[in-house]
Amino acid sequence: MSSGTGLFVTFEGGEGAGKSTQIRRLAESLRANGYDVLLTREPGGSSGAEAVRHVLLSGAAEAFGTRMEAILFAAARNDHVEEVIRPALAAQTVVLCDRFMDSSRVYQGVTGNLEAEFIETLQRVAVNGIVPDCTLILDLPATAGLERARRRGATADLGPDRYEKEELQTHEKRREAFLDIAAREPERCHVIDAMQAEETIATAIFAVVEHHLLPRETPTTAAGDAENRAEAAHE
Ligand code: TYD
């Protein structure tokens, strides 16, 4: 993490991986440790992006093709970055985002069959320099994830969204694509086995994020003061 800014953490993975539960748990643990936390999600997270979210998830844009959908995801992302994420990071906040640029690489790029170069060009414009410091990829077999997503949908009385409806094979392909990104960018990406118990996953995620926060000053004043005094004594 660069000094003077917050920390940007993204959560990625297929359907039903438990991202929402884990992101909420991480937010609670970080707040309990004195950090300012902003919890946000994509598509959405800013008023402009939330307006585009419905168009994308209802399938209303599907008829216009994946290229159009990719551009809409990028437009939503840029609004979210400029209106919400960049200001929060500048205010030293830990930003936790449920899905971000890797979802576009996987859903629109790999399984949407768009050329990687097109996706990367869009991403550059969309993120405008704001790249996650740390990405947690929650990994599980597509069958298990879809089963969980279906149960969740049935409880909430919701049908599957535009992306949940796709074939099992497509979901498996996405899993592989997330793992490929993790293999290419091991410093940023951490793969977490999402078949483990909820508590075990939460502990693993907290350990990864805590490691990224280490160079940062301890947020609690008392501990921070003690540290500063110790440092001064060494000078
Ligand atoms: P959502 O219901 O928010 O959540 P979940 O992350 O639990 O699946 O659905 C978001 C859907 O949008 C999801 O199926 C992935 C898809 N998506 C993309 O295709 N591209 C993107 O860039 C993003 C952010 C999401």
Q: What is the pLDDT of residues 23-46, one digit of tens each?
A: 999 999 999 999 999 999 999 999
The number of beta carbons lying within 10 Å of the beta carbon of residue 224 is 13
Q: What percent of the chain has pLDDT over 90?
A: 80
197 in helix, strand or coil?
coil
User: Does an H or E element contain 112, and which?
Assistant: none
Assign 164 a pLDDT band (cuts: 50, 70, 90).
confident
Q: Does domain 7-228 have CATH number 3.40.50.300?
A: yes
Omega into 43 within 30° of 0, i.e. cis? yes
H-only helix segments in the chain: 19-32, 47-57, 66-80, 86-90, 101-103, 116-127, 142-155, 168-184, 198-213, 221-234
**Which sequence spans correspond to the domains of the chain?**
7-228
Residue corresponding to tokens 């994420």: 85
* Cα distance between residue 233 and residue 104, in whole Å: 50
Distance 42 CA to ligand 1 centre (A): 7
* Pair 138, 174: CB distance under 8 Å: no
pLDDT of residue 218: 54
Average pLDDT score over the chain? 91
Report residue 70: phi and psi, to 5°.
-60, -40
Distance 100 CA to ligand 1 centre (A): 9
Stretch 52-69: mean pLDDT, rounded?
Answer: 96
Ligand 1 atom with least separation from CA of 17: 7
Q: Is 103 in the pocket of ligand 1 (CB under 6 A)?
A: yes
Tokens found for residue 19: 């991202």
Q: Which residues contact 151 (CB under 8 A, 6 or more apart)?
A: none
Q: Is 15 in the pocket of ligand 1 (CB under 6 A)?
A: yes
Assign 229 a pLDDT band (cuts: 50, 70, 90).
very low
Q: Which residue has the higher pLDDT, 234 or 152?
A: 152
7 in helix, strand or coil?
strand
Q: Which residues pair with 7 in a beta bridge?
A: 94
C-alpha dihedral sign at 111, 19, 27, 206: negative
* Pair 13, 140: CB distance under 8 Å: yes
Q: Whose CA is nearest to atom 19 of ligand 1?
A: 107
Q: Which residue has the higher pLDDT, 232 or 114?
A: 114
* Cα distance between residue 196 and residue 142, in whole Å: 15
Assign 155 a pLDDT band (cuts: 50, 70, 90).
confident
* Cα distance between residue 106 and residue 116, in whole Å: 10
Tokens found for residue 13: 């993975």
Q: Which residues contact 8 (CB under 8 A, 6 or more apart)?
A: 85, 89, 95, 97, 130, 131, 132, 133, 134
pLDDT at 228 over 60: no
pLDDT of residue 216: 60
Stretch 114-132: mean pLDDT, rounded?
Answer: 98
pLDDT of residue 163: 84
pLDDT at 2 over 50: no
pLDDT at 174 over 90: yes
pLDDT of residue 4: 61
Nearest residue to 102 via CA among 125, 71, 135:
135
Q: Whose CA is nearest to atom 10 of ligand 1?
A: 43
Stretch 152-163: mean pLDDT, rounded?
Answer: 83
